[in-house]
């Protein structure tokens, strides 16, 4: 009986090494995927907050905080880019669009009185490659997008 047990132990030598060799790459792939996924989730939540803040500014009465001669669209676009730059995005790579929600590509002018009480969409697009370890050519660049729709109501802040 002692021989039988010794034979079983001898047959199991090296199994832990083989199991580790099989499981380690899978585990490492999962860990790297979780890290990349959490970076993307964090980046998207920062972009969503920047979009909400920019659209909220667009929906408010801008007479007190936008200097004379500066268009509201430009001010909000710059504010959104500054917010994203503070979060680690390259502001030159970030595209900010203020458009009609039902007519993409048609710019919504926040200062135009004809657009008062109309819905507008603020959309932010940032390339995905700086946020992950993937590299894409410029023609097929994947983008992380966040957008929000607000009403150009020129409401005031009540304190």
> pLDDT by residue (tens digit) across 64-85?
666 777 888 898 999 999 999 9
Q: Give 141 or 96, the one with higher predicted confidence.
A: 96
Q: Given pLDDT bands bounded at 50, 70 and 90, which one contains residue 45?
A: very high
Percent of the chain with pLDDT over 70: 80
pTM, to two decimals: 0.75
- What is the rounded distance in angstroms from the CA atom of residue 131 to the CA atom of residue 88? 10
Task: Find the mean pLDDT for residues 101-122.
Answer: 89
Decide: helix, strand or coil at residue 93: coil
Radius of gyration of the chain (CA): 26
Closest CA to 132 of 115, 118, 144: 144
- Residue 146 predicted with pLDDT over 90: yes
pLDDT score at 38: 92
Is the CB of residue 120 less than 8 Å from the CB of residue 112? no
Q: Given pLDDT bands bounded at 50, 70 and 90, which one contains residue 59?
A: confident
Question: Can you give the residue ranges of every domain in the chain?
Answer: 2-151
Is the CB of residue 96 less than 8 Å from the CB of residue 80? yes
Q: Within 13 A of 74's CA, how many CA atoms are on the CB side?
A: 6
- Residue 29 predicted with pLDDT over 80: yes
Is the CB of residue 66 less than 8 Å from the CB of residue 94? no
- Residue 16 predicted with pLDDT over 90: no
Q: Given pLDDT bands bounded at 50, 70 and 90, which one contains residue 4?
A: low
Q: Which of 52-56, 75-79, 121-125, 155-159 has the weakest average pLDDT? A: 155-159
């Amino acid at each position: 009986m002692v021989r039988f047990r010794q034979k079983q132990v001898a047959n199991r030598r090296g199994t832990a090494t083989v199991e580790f060799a099989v499981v380690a790459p899978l585990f490492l792939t999962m860990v790297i995927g979780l890290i990349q996924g959490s970076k993307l989730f964090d980046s998207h939540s920062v972009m969503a907050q920047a979009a909400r803040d920019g659209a909220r500014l667009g929906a408010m009465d801008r007479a007190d905080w936008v200097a004379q001669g500066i268009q509201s669209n430009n001010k909000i676009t710059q504010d959104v880019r500054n917010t994203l730059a503070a979060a680690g995005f390259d502001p030159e790579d970030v595209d900010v669009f203020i458009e009609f929600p039902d007519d993409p590509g048609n710019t919504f002018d926040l200062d135009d009185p004809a657009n008062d009480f109309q819905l507008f969409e603020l959309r932010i697009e940032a390339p995905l490659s700086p946020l992950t370890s993937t590299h894409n050519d410029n023609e097929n660049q994947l983008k992380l997008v966040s957008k929000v729709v607000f009403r150009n109501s020129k409401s005031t802040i009540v304190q």
